Chains A and B, each alone.
Chain A
Amino acid sequence: MAKKLKNYIGGEWVESITSDYIPVHDPATCELLAECPDSTAEDVDRAVQAATEGFDEWRRTPVMNRAQYMYRLKTLLEDRFEDISRMVVQENGKALDEARGEVRRGIESVDFATGVPFMMRADGLEDVSSGIDEFTMRQPAGVFAAITPFNFPAMVPLWFLPTAITCGNTFILKPSPQTPISMDILFEILEELDLPEGVVNLVQGGKASSMAIMEHPGIKGVSFVGSTPVAKLVYETCTRHGKRVQAQGGAKNYIAVMPDANMEASVKNIMGAAYGCAGQRCLAAAVVVAVGDAYDKVRDEVAKQAGNLRVGYGLNETTQMGTVVSAAAKERIENLIQRGLDEGAKVVLDGRNVTVAGFEEGTFVGPTILENVTPENIVAKEEIFGPVLSLMKAENFDEAVDLINNSRYGNAASIFTTNGGYARDFKYRVNAGNIGINIGVAAPSASFPFGGQKDSFFGDLHGQGSDSIEFYTERKIIIERWI
């Protein structure tokens, strides 16, 4: 029987007040995995109360001791590594290696949080005036929350929770109702840490609980990752309610391939960038701009390698690409492919109607390649969030840069080249938050902020890295004299 998920509030597993439950299916097998409560504003309010009550004791817990919880969390995550990875596959549909990579990245954020005692230190200056010293100190700011997406159900919550609580804040997590189970496992693990009540809280649900988080006066700040329209809504709502907010939105990531690039190795890397996680990631390569006579070579090599990718059930180790998250996502992706074709694109490889033996009801979309794509085509402008790669031509490097900079998104962009001059010019001129040089997925490691510009990010301080310390702390300036 499918597990009926609960919320975790004030150190206890509690049933939501709601009677509405959202079914969670394995998108490959269609098996009902769990039922997720569609928690209400009242559930959120209970979590905020618990987090508020827990804050004073927790902020007084020495930072070195708070960091010790992170070492223990890391150990427990390593012990449950395969369990969590396999659950990510089941609830999301991605391939097992991708799920393992995701969990690894999540643990990296826990590693990062062990360094909070060092990173929370501030600075000072003596004798700013005669006998007067001035210094800053960082303090935890209160109750923080994160609203996290379906595409990295284990990793994205770990971008936020470990650093937030090690800085001395208390925390409320609301994962995607499409993929809530890996966070149910994480909170089982967090329960083993014996944290004080209210330090970490889990509220499962959808829109009602998200809105309640954005509007609740007891929450100091909100971290969000999702689509651009929702990121914008989160940013506007949170700021209207006086919160600090970091809202990471959607993307349309371009990859420029120069004629001098090592074609086979570059395309091998582009495969992972375009089709990894079935294209359901904000760093997915969506458009390849081949410069000059690189175009034919790129198209032929991409078609060859994409055609060889093995689409299948994610728990099968030989699967290189799993499902998309739901039937609705599959329908949306396939509709966008059709609209792209209607607007003049031509299909090089068509992933629609792919079936996998034994998983006939699974929401598979195979690797798809479209060419003759113009900048005005819907597939060049809209985030598809599926395994669809569009090919464009540019006469020269400058034209490629213009094509990239004309996109309304600015999450990531990459160049494949063996020419250092092009590489330098690319990172200098391209307006995107994460730049890859011969790297298809320009994913910052935990110690760097996760960039994002234009319609891909709303806020000032990004997730991860030094930005996260700024986001989760309040700076106080002390001007001191003894008389």
Chain B
Amino acid sequence: MASLNTFGAILTYAINLEVQLRDYYQSAGNSGRAQGADKRRQTLERIRREYVVEITLEPIDGLDETNYAFDLKDPSENGQRSIESTAARFFADVSPKINVRQAQRALERCGKEHQELAQA
């Protein structure tokens, strides 16, 4: 998968991102951040189920997952900050592309949380 061109592609990428972060923080021994990632995963799964209404399914362009690659092998503080910045940028980029306000809000909240973690 490269292009994030559908509602499902974006939400599934976001869910997988949170799963990776949960596992990353669990390995790093930071259970608080792992729980936060898992909570966001659950929210995003619910959003994918509840807001995929057919009349709002329109093609989405201009997003590519290769722009949001991050290094999960670096558990340092700098590494964590870099990962969170990338995640925050991802959510900031994708949320305006979603034409369902409730889903957009959930993505914005995820972005805000990642931004706070990047600056912590």
> Does B2 have its Cβ within 8 Å of any Cβ on chain A?
yes
Q: Quote the shortest CB–CB distance from B106 to chain A (angstroms).
A: 16
A96 vs B59: C-alpha distance when bound (angstroms): 13
The reply to whether B5 and A101 form a contact with Cβ atoms under 8 Å apart is: no
Q: Quote the shortest CB–CB distance from A247 to chain B (angstroms).
A: 23
A268 vs B49: C-alpha distance when bound (angstroms): 23
> Does B6 have its Cβ within 8 Å of any Cβ on chain A?
yes
Q: Which residues of A contact B1 (CB under 8 A)?
A: 316-318
The reply to whether A97 and B55 form a contact with Cβ atoms under 8 Å apart is: no
A269 vs B54: C-alpha distance when bound (angstroms): 11
> Does A37 have its Cβ within 8 Å of any Cβ on chain B?
no
The reply to whether B49 and A95 form a contact with Cβ atoms under 8 Å apart is: no
> Does A263 have its Cβ within 8 Å of any Cβ on chain B?
no
Across the interface, name the chain A residue whose C-beta is closest to B49: A81
Across the interface, name the chain B residue whose C-beta is closest to A152: B54
The reply to whether A308 and B61 form a contact with Cβ atoms under 8 Å apart is: yes
The reply to whether B6 and A276 form a contact with Cβ atoms under 8 Å apart is: no
> Does A102 have its Cβ within 8 Å of any Cβ on chain B?
yes
Across the interface, name the chain A residue whose C-beta is closest to B5: A318
Q: Of B9, B49, B58, which is within 8 A of A317 by CB?
A: B9
* Given known A104-B50, A316-B1, A441-B54, contact A97–B8 (CB-CB < 8 A): yes
A308 vs B58: C-alpha distance when bound (angstroms): 12
Q: Quote the shortest CB–CB distance from B13 to chain A (angstroms).
A: 8
The reply to whether B54 and A318 form a contact with Cβ atoms under 8 Å apart is: no
> Does A309 have its Cβ within 8 Å of any Cβ on chain B?
yes
A439 vs B56: C-alpha distance when bound (angstroms): 9
A96 vs B55: C-alpha distance when bound (angstroms): 15
> Does B52 have its Cβ within 8 Å of any Cβ on chain A?
yes
The reply to whether A443 and B9 form a contact with Cβ atoms under 8 Å apart is: no
The reply to whether A96 and B58 form a contact with Cβ atoms under 8 Å apart is: no
> Does A419 have its Cβ within 8 Å of any Cβ on chain B?
no
* Given known A96-B8, A310-B5, A320-B5, contact A269–B48 (CB-CB < 8 A): no
Q: Which residues of B contact A441 (CB under 8 A)?
A: 54-55
Across the interface, name the chain B residue whose C-beta is closest to A269: B58
Q: Quote the shortest CB–CB distance from A278 to chain B (angstroms).
A: 13
A350 vs B38: C-alpha distance when bound (angstroms): 46
> Does A299 have its Cβ within 8 Å of any Cβ on chain B?
no
> Does A78 have its Cβ within 8 Å of any Cβ on chain B?
yes
Q: Quote the shortest CB–CB distance from A431 to chain B (angstroms).
A: 22
Which residues of B from 56 to 74 have beta carbons under 8 Å from A?
57-59, 61
Q: Quote the shortest CB–CB distance from B4 to chain A (angstroms).
A: 8
Encoded as 1 (CB less than 8 Å from any B CB) or 0, chain A from 76 to 102 comes to 001001000000000000011110111
> Does B104 have its Cβ within 8 Å of any Cβ on chain A?
no
Q: Quote the shortest CB–CB distance from A219 to chain B (angstroms).
A: 31
* Given known A317-B9, A318-B5, contact A443–B49 (CB-CB < 8 A): no
The reply to whether A100 and B52 form a contact with Cβ atoms under 8 Å apart is: yes
* Given known A268-B59, A305-B59, contact A101–B6 (CB-CB < 8 A): no
The reply to whether B48 and A100 form a contact with Cβ atoms under 8 Å apart is: yes
Q: Which residues of B contact A319 (CB under 8 A)?
A: 6
A96 vs B48: C-alpha distance when bound (angstroms): 11
The reply to whether B9 and A105 form a contact with Cβ atoms under 8 Å apart is: no
The reply to whether B53 and A105 form a contact with Cβ atoms under 8 Å apart is: yes
A316 vs B13: C-alpha distance when bound (angstroms): 12
Q: Of A97, A105, A271, which is within 8 A of B6 by CB?
A: A97
The reply to whether A439 and B6 form a contact with Cβ atoms under 8 Å apart is: no
A271 vs B6: C-alpha distance when bound (angstroms): 13
> Does B12 have its Cβ within 8 Å of any Cβ on chain A?
yes
A276 vs B56: C-alpha distance when bound (angstroms): 11
Q: Which residues of B contact A102 (CB under 8 A)?
A: 54
A105 vs B13: C-alpha distance when bound (angstroms): 23
Among the interface residues A81, A98, A271, A317, which one has the most CB atoms of the partner chain B within 10 A?
A: A317
The reply to whether B54 and A317 form a contact with Cβ atoms under 8 Å apart is: no
Across the interface, name the chain A residue whose C-beta is closest to B58: A268
> Does B24 have its Cβ within 8 Å of any Cβ on chain A?
no
A-B contacts, 15 of them at CB < 8 A, read A97-B8, A97-B57, A101-B53, A102-B54, A104-B52, A105-B53, A269-B58, A272-B58, A276-B54, A317-B13, A318-B5, A319-B6, A320-B6, A439-B55, A443-B55
Closest 5 CB pairs of A and B: A101-B54, A97-B8, A317-B9, A100-B52, A268-B58
